[in-house]
Amino acid sequence: MIDDKHETEPKSEPKSDPNPSTPALQGDRLPSAPGRMVTRGLAQRFKRSEEPSEYPDERPQPSADHGLQVQDSALPFPVDEPLPEVVPSQGTKGLLTSVARSPEEELLQTRRVAGTPQPAQEGLLRVGTQLQGRYKILGVIGVGGMGAVYRAQDLRFPGVMRLCAVKEMINTASDRRVRDMITRNFEREAGILATLSHPAIPQVYDYFTEESRSYLVLEFVTGQDLEARVSASEGFFSEAQVVDWAAQLCDVLSFLHNHKPRPIIFRDLKPSNVMLDDQGRIRLVDFGIAKLFQSGEKGTMIGTEGYSPPEQYRGVSEPRGDLYALGATMHHLLSKQDPRLEPPFSFQERPIHKSNPTVSQELLSLVEKLLEYDVNARYGSAEELKRALLSLSSARRSASAKADTTRMLMTGGVKPIWRFACEDEVRGSVCVAGDLILVPSYDHNIYALDIDEGAFAWKYAAEGGIASSPALAGRLAVFGSTDRSVYAVEVQTGSLAWTAPTKGRIYSSPYIELGHVFIGSDDGSLYAFQLQSGGESWHYAANGAVRSRPVVDDHLVVFSCSQGIVYALTLGRDLKWQFRARRGILASPIAHENFVMVGSLDWYFYGLDRRSGWVGWKYRTNGPIASTAAVWEDLVIFGSADKSVYALQASDGRLVWRYETQGQVTGAVTVHQDTVYVGSVDGALYSIDARSGSLRWRYGTDGAITGAPQIANGVVYFGSSDHYVYALPA
């Protein structure tokens, strides 16, 4: 699947040397296909010493030299990393861009009707293609009318995985004038973007044209566009959430509208052109039709029907047109009615509160004012709109909540916003699902609580304890239970969508990608189930219980087992490589740049080369590692049973800082903005400065904290084995 010579060439190990001399090796790595590419000696050594003892359901025993072991109270683990993002389906993109029409697309559309060129989809670049000998295509992000947007790797930075987004424009026009216009439009987009510097605008790294295709190389934004968010979410976004996004959009619009020498009118504001990065920050993408404002200039209608203001149809564009499109976007986000499917300018006939009665009257009038047909009846500028947004009581409430937090921290006390008692321990990680928080508990239930108040919404009872942390995909939440089954329930109601059996208890947490649920079982297998039906696509027999959360990265499924082996499989279940630590692995591997990183009960934290599984570096702590790491900037942060939290340089494993808690740190680490959140078996949740490793605050509960905290809207949520779920100001 991945066309990469490094991975498929037989290794350069001398055939006669069963103990390769590379220091990094030292028996740490197993060949991916022992029979084919390795000497018998090495294969035999593996057989002799690495054979799993027996059917593993027991907790790993410490060896003599590893006197320190992970406390019972910290096991069995649901060691989890932060929730995976669900990649928006390409289907949405296709539909979306076929409705959106920029002039180039109009022209291409016309050509297509005339029967000449092939649709853009057929001309997609293959994974592995290199552009300019520098940008390696890793996958498709979206397909539009005039080309695709790809995820790519910049090979100019060989030591690291520098990602970028490559936006392609296929010039299929046969008419020379049309072709030139398309190229000019492309160059204009690149030119404008390259000069803009604003945190909400992705940087332009490069642009070029290869034959009939032009490319724009952009900073890669990790996250989802709001269009995908709308389709992935069940229920409505909260008013405060939409107001926050709108206020952020005001900032970037006012930057554009105040651009010198002339204002820039974005002209195609709509949910699919707004991305939300993994920090919750707004990013404006798709400057395809932005152009320098020339007052009084008339041109063709540019934009997207449904979002575009009436005057733009007459070729007039000015800053208040972007405010109209922002109003249409807010209307869409709040009402969940897609304006492209309705007659243009029909918002007045479809008031938001008819579909979503929770929106306040103040916000309704604000959106109505933005959607005024008459330009002069709207807000005068993005700044004026932002002031109006911030004076809404929903915005004031969330601002005062933030102020309270600051006060509390200054006086040294962290007070829970709410807490909720389950009937048994909460060992797994909680999961934020829109306005709900899902809590896996040993009492056999998964609870859904109102995120703001902690009020009970629903619960779903499995037949066994739930230590597995739920993963979300669209309307479904998926998790496993010690009753051996995987469950998918509707997030909003808790009603069962499907279950799928395995042959062992499930402590592993699911990872959802490519329409599949990947999850391990104590029966020693990793399973791939179809997300929609729960049908099994395949399973792969590992050497021991699979308790970690797998990760799918760059078409490799990476997971670990309790026998200390990390496996990397292709999506077709072929073993690409495997690596063996000296003792079991309960933590989940994480993928970052060129590395797969994971800690082992052998006390080491490993940085493995993600193409080969070779050890790039390793770092020894003073105890077994069961904690799943998190990456922040260029640091990898994890805990150890030696009570410390470690931050290492992800590129070479050098220690940057270490913070000592009062108990074993076995839970997964979460980093939000520049703060590390991690629980300890001493019962406390620690908030640590990610840069310096100094303590910000500590909050004590009456039980061990072994799941990963989750952060949303300035609140940190986590469970404790004292049976409670807590919501604290982050």
Ligand X SMILES: Nc1ncnc2c1ncn2[C@@H]1O[C@H](COP(=O)(O)OP(=O)(O)O)[C@@H](O)[C@H]1O
How are strands ordered across the β-sheet holding 590-592?
A: 590-592, 595-599, 604-609, 615-620
Q: Which stretch binds ligand X (CB under 6 A): 270-278, 461-469, 556-564, 657-665?
A: 270-278
Residue 404: CB minimum distance to ligand X, A: 35
Residue 268 annotated among the catalytic residues of the structure = yes
Catalytic residue, from 28, 154, 268, 322: name it: 268
Q: Please tell me the distance from the alpha carbon of residue 470 to that of residue 441, in angstroms, as a whole number.
A: 11
Q: Which stretch binds ligand X (CB under 6 A): 129-137, 212-220, 505-513, 697-705?
A: 212-220
Residue 720 identity (one-letter amino acid) = S
Query: For 250, phi and psi rounded to 5 degrees?
Result: -60, -40
Q: Using CB under 5 A as the criterion, what x/- string covers residues 266-285 for binding Mg ion?
A: ------xx------------
Binding positions for Mg ion, 213-272, rule CB under 5 A: 272
Q: Which stretch binds ligand X (CB under 6 A): 232-240, 267-275, 586-594, 697-705?
A: 267-275
- Tell me which of 69, 172, 254, 273 binds ligand X, using CB under 6 A: 273
- List the single partner that 511 binds among ligand X, Mg ion, none, CB under 5 to 8 Å by kind: none
Residue nearest Mg ion, Cβ-based:
286
The CA–CA distances, whole Å, from 453 to 216, 236, 420, 719, 727 equal 45, 17, 9, 15, 9
Binding positions for ligand X, 100-139, rule CB under 6 A: 100
Instruction: Indicate the residue among 164 and 598 with the shorter CB distance to ligand X.
Output: 164
Instruction: Indicate the residue among 63 and 121 with the shorter CB distance to ligand X.
Output: 121
Instruction: Indicate the residue among 286 and 609 with the shorter CB distance to Mg ion.
Output: 286
What per-residue string of b and e applies to 62-94 under the rule 16 or more CB within 10 Å gives b?
Answer: beeebeebbeebbbbbbbbbbbbebbbbeebbb
Crossing angle for the helix pair 393-410 and 239-257, to the nearest 10 degrees: 100
Residue 533 identity (one-letter amino acid) = S
Start-end of H helices in 258-360: 310-313, 319-335, 352-355
- Tell me which of 29, 101, 167, 592 binds ligand X, using CB under 6 A: 167
- Tell me which of 285, 333, 591, 712 binds ligand X, using CB under 6 A: 285
Residue 162: CB minimum distance to ligand X, A: 13
Residue 355: CB minimum distance to ligand X, A: 24
Residue 341: CB minimum distance to ligand X, A: 18
- Tell me which of 275, 467, 500, 557 binds ligand X, using CB under 6 A: 275
- Tell me which of 172, 238, 254, 272 binds ligand X, using CB under 6 A: 272
Measure CA 271 to chain center: 18
Residue 273: CB minimum distance to Mg ion, A: 4
Residue 722: CB minimum distance to ligand X, A: 41
Q: Please tell me the distance from the alpha carbon of residue 314 to that of residue 294, in angstroms, as a whole number.
A: 15
Binding-site size, ligand X (CB under 6 A) = 20
Q: Is 165 in the site for ligand X (CB under 6 A)?
A: yes
Q: Is 141 in the site for ligand X (CB under 6 A)?
A: yes
- Tell me which of 87, 152, 170, 218 binds ligand X, using CB under 6 A: 218
Residue 497: CB minimum distance to ligand X, A: 27
My answer on whether omega of the bond before 76 falls inside 30° of 0, hence cis, is yes
Instruction: Indicate the residue among 227 and 425 with the shorter CB distance to Mg ion.
Output: 227
Instruction: Indicate the residue among 285 and 431 with the shorter CB distance to ligand X.
Output: 285
Q: Strand (E) positions, 72-192?
A: 130-131, 135-144, 147-154, 163-170
Q: Using CB under 5 A as the criterion, what x/- string covers residues 68-107 for binding Mg ion?
A: ----------------------------------------
* Positive or negative: CA dihedral 138, 596, 24, 565: negative
Crossing angle for the helix pair 393-410 and 382-390, to the nearest 10 degrees: 70
- List the single partner that 170 binds among ligand X, Mg ion, none, CB under 5 to 8 Å by kind: none
Residue 224: CB minimum distance to ligand X, A: 7
Q: Is 220 in the site for ligand X (CB under 6 A)?
A: yes
- List the single partner that 220 binds among ligand X, Mg ion, none, CB under 5 to 8 Å by kind: ligand X
- List the single partner that 225 binds among Mg ion, ligand X, none, CB under 5 to 8 Å by kind: ligand X
With 0-12 CB in 10 A as exposed, 13-18 as middle and 19+ as buried, what is 379?
Answer: buried
Q: Tell me which residue has tokens 């593996």.
A: 46
Start-end of H helices in 258-318: 310-313
- List the single partner that 275 binds among ligand X, Mg ion, none, CB under 5 to 8 Å by kind: ligand X
Binding positions for Mg ion, 512-531, rule CB under 5 A: none
What per-residue string of b and e applies to 480-507 under the rule 16 or more CB within 10 Å gives b?
Answer: bbbbbbbbbbbbbebeebbbbebebbbb
How are strands ordered across the β-sheet holding 695-700?
A: 670-672, 675-679, 684-689, 695-700
Rounded to the nearest 5 percent, the helix, strand and coil shares of the chain are 25, 30, 45
With 0-12 CB in 10 A as exposed, 13-18 as middle and 19+ as buried, what is 261?
Answer: exposed
The pairing of strands 471-473 and 476-480 is antiparallel
Q: Is 231 in the site for ligand X (CB under 6 A)?
A: no
Residue 570: CB minimum distance to ligand X, A: 25
- List the single partner that 167 binds among Mg ion, ligand X, none, CB under 5 to 8 Å by kind: ligand X
Dihedral through CA 228, CA 230, CA 231, CA 233, nearest 10?
110
- List the single partner that 628 binds among ligand X, Mg ion, none, CB under 5 to 8 Å by kind: none
The CA–CA distances, whole Å, from 95 to 90, 100, 218, 338, 394 equal 9, 9, 23, 12, 34
My answer on whether omega of the bond before 261 falls inside 30° of 0, hence cis, is yes
Helix (H) or strand (E) holding 374: none
SS3 558: strand
Residue 323: CB minimum distance to Mg ion, A: 19
Q: Which stretch binds ligand X (CB under 6 A): 285-293, 364-372, 456-464, 657-665?
A: 285-293
- Phi-psi map region of 331: left, alpha, beta (phi>0 left; psi -120 to 50 alpha): alpha
Q: Please tell me the distance from the alpha carbon of residue 230 to that of residue 227, in angstroms, as a whole number.
A: 5
Binding positions for Mg ion, 278-317, rule CB under 5 A: 286
Instruction: Indicate the residue among 286 and 522 with the shorter CB distance to Mg ion.
Output: 286
Instruction: Indicate the residue among 221 and 712 with the shorter CB distance to ligand X.
Output: 221
Q: Is 332 in the site for ligand X (CB under 6 A)?
A: no
Q: Strand (E) positions, 220-307?
A: 223-225, 264-265, 274-277, 282-284, 291-292
Q: Tell me which residue has tokens 């009062």.
A: 662
Q: Is 288 in the site for ligand X (CB under 6 A)?
A: yes
- Tell me which of 32, 97, 394, 405 binds ligand X, using CB under 6 A: 97
Q: Please tell me the distance from the alpha carbon of residue 559 to that of residue 599, in angstroms, as a whole number.
A: 12
Q: Which stretch binds ligand X (CB under 6 A): 218-226, 392-400, 538-546, 602-610?
A: 218-226
- List the single partner that 165 binds among Mg ion, ligand X, none, CB under 5 to 8 Å by kind: ligand X
Residue 268: CB minimum distance to ligand X, A: 8
Residue 334: CB minimum distance to Mg ion, A: 21
Q: Is 394 in the site for ligand X (CB under 6 A)?
A: no
Task: Report, as residue numbers or ranges, the catalytic residues.
Answer: 268
Positions that interact with Mg ion (CB under 5 A)? 272-273, 286
Positions that interact with ligand X (CB under 6 A)? 97, 100, 141-142, 144, 149, 165, 167, 202, 218-221, 225, 272-273, 275, 285-286, 288
